Structure formats: structure tokens, C-alpha cells
Amino acid sequence: MEYVILGLIISILMLIYFKLANHYNIIDKPNQRSSHSEITLRGGGIIFWFSALIYFVQHIQNNYFFFIGITLVSLVSFWDDIQSLSNKIRISIHFLSISLIFYDLGLFSMVPILGIVIAYVFVIGLINAYNFMDGINGITGLYTLVVMGAFLYVNTKVQLFTDSDLIKYAIIASLVFLFFNYRKKAKCFAGDVGSIAIAFWVIYLLVKLILLTNSLIWVLFLAVYGVDTVCTIFHRLYLKQNIFEAHRLHFYQILSNEYKIQHRLVSLFYALVQTGISFLVIILYQKVQDAVIFVIVILPLLGVYSLKFYLLNKNNLRLKV
């Protein structure tokens, strides 16, 4: 019953936000880089911060650093949704927020300096990857459901590493968000405030699990997003493009924009592939060497991603004809 009430509360908060977004014209206008064609409300992902706020109020005796961190990144991201901010401001807030959770999790006393530097680069990269991948209806909500579902299973069946409610509140927020976003014509988009806030939430849980189990294998809970993002960056570098500018070269964008596959199907495909990978990781954990699991997962994903180049070439030939 507690979770039903939570769902109702954040649904009401979402509807109130819609009224405010309409009034203050917080919208997403499509451009040549967009995967959508209609004006849509932006910033619906603020629901993730609402859910974090409710969790913090109920567990006010701890999780201070997590909540301060997610509040800071949500605030600067929401500001960026309304009017563009400089990269320096955004990166500085991200760095500060990440430092808070690193301190909270004891990373500074557990990991050597080089490891801490790598951790900063890795985490900032993951946050931006989650943001880059938020481009079509349903992809952020479904993918987050899969990732959080995997964390919940590990926490329940494999290794207790956090309060289960911290995971469940993110799952409920994802379900409510999907109700408004996983449609042919979405009621709202997550915006930076949504993709970055939930990425911060995911990373907090991921780092906590890695430190407790002393295993990097849990990074593969984000394997699909990771491979798509990293490979697309290399592809754009090869094309001599500015990797910080908007583009339409992610695999999901090729499927959605060039081949006109329904957004919801592409999002479902990404979620299902990640579900299979997460299940495989959990099954093989402590039975197979971590390095072997990485190879088993990453190589097939690279093979799937390489299909993008075949599809691009095929589409270019079709356009020439």
C-alpha cells in the first residue's frame, strides 16, 4: 500500500508540474537533430527528484549526501532545460555532487589517488552517457526499470548492499514517468533534469555495490548504453565531428530516424537486450572470472552495434537511387 500511495503522490506532483510547464512554456521544440516532430513538455523527469525527496523525508536520519548530490544535479539540469548553461557550471556541479557521494561511500579512504581520478572520469562519463541516450519515447524509463530491477534482485538474492526502498522508489518513479512518456505521442520528455538525476541515482547504487563486492562486473548493468555511447563517440571522432554537439548517430537514432522503426519498439529492444545481459551477469557472478564475463557481454554488443554501419550504407544507397 505504501508504494501505491507513493505512486499516487508523485503522479499528482507530475500533473502539477505539467500545469506549471505549460504556463511558463517549458517545452522541447524539435530541430533537425531531434527524433521527435512535435512540441512536447520538457522536464518531466523531475519526477525522479520528487521521488528522491519523499524517500529522504522518510529516511532523514541518513542519505544526506546522496540527497544533496541529486538535488544539486537536478537543479542545475533543470536550469539548463530552461536556458542553456555553460559546460563549466554543469561540470563543476557534477564534480561537487559526485564528490559528495564518493565521500559518503568512503571511496577516498578505500581507493588510491589514481583510482579516484579514474572513478571521477568514469562516473562523469556515465552521467553524460545516460543523458545522450535519452532521445526517444520510453528509452530512459524502460532502461531505468531494467537497471533498478537488476539492483533490486542483487540486493534481495545475491548481496544486500543498500536499503531496498532506495531502489523501489526509483522503480515507482520510472513507472509513473513511463505512463506519461511511453506513448506514440509523449505527454512529456525527461529533459536533462530527468536523465541526469536518475543517472546520478543509478551511479550511487552502482558504486556502492562495486565497493562492497570488490567487483567491477556490475558495470555491465549499463552495458548497452555504454557500448552505444563509447562507439558513437569514436565514430564521430573518425568523422571529425564535435562530440559535444547534438547529432543523430546513436544506433537507436538510426533505427528510429533513418528506418522509421517506432520509438517504443526501439526502446523496448534496448531494455530487453539489457535485461538479458543483466540476467547473464547475475548468473555468472562468482562462477566465471570477471574478465571472461566482460568478453562474453561486450563482444556480441560490438557485433550488434556494427550493424549500424551496414544500415547507414544501405540507407545512403537507397537515398542516392
* Letter string b/e over residues 62-88, b meaning 16 or more CB atoms within 10 A of that residue's CB: ebebbbbbbbbbbebbbbbbbeeeeee
pLDDT band at 321 (very low <50, low <70, confident <90, very high): very low
pLDDT band at 173 (very low <50, low <70, confident <90, very high): very high
Per-residue pLDDT, averaged over 16-28, amounts to: 85
**With 0-12 CB in 10 A as exposed, 13-18 as middle and 19+ as buried, what is 160?**
exposed
Give, as one character, the DSSP assignment of residue 243: T
Q: Give yes or no for residue 28 having a pLDDT over 70.
A: no
pLDDT score at 141: 95
- Degrees, nearest 5: CA angle 78-81-85: 90
Q: Give yes or no for residue 314 having a pLDDT over 80.
A: no
pLDDT band at 81 (very low <50, low <70, confident <90, very high): confident
Instruction: Determine what percent of the chain is predicted with pLDDT higher than 90.
Output: 71
Instruction: Determine what percent of the chain is predicted with pLDDT higher than 70.
Output: 94
Beta bridge partners of 40: 28
pLDDT score at 291: 95
pLDDT band at 318 (very low <50, low <70, confident <90, very high): low
Per-residue pLDDT, averaged over 135-155, amounts to: 96
pLDDT score at 39: 64
pLDDT averaged over the chain?
90
Instruction: Convert the pLDDT of each residue in 105-132 to its tens digit.
Output: 999 999 899 999 999 999 999 998 999 8
CB distance 191 to 44 below 8 Å: yes
Q: Give yes or no for residue 170 having a pLDDT over 50.
A: yes
Polymer length in residues for the chain: 321
Q: Give yes or no for residue 51 having a pLDDT over 60.
A: yes
Instruction: Convert the pLDDT of each residue in 179-219 to its tens digit.
Output: 999 998 888 988 999 999 999 999 999 999 999 999 999 99
pLDDT score at 319: 46
Per-residue pLDDT, averaged over 158-164, amounts to: 96
Q: Report CA-CA distances (Å) from 90 to 26, 85, 86, 149, 226.
A: 19, 7, 7, 29, 21
Side-chain-side CA neighbours of 77 within 13 Å: the count stands at 29
What is d(CA 219, CA 232) in angstroms, rounded to the nearest whole number? 19
CB distance 266 to 136 below 8 Å: yes
What is d(CA 143, CA 20) in angstroms, rounded to the nearest whole number? 27
Instruction: Convert the pLDDT of each residue in 227-285 to its tens digit.
Output: 999 999 999 999 989 887 878 899 999 998 888 899 999 999 999 999 999 999 999 99
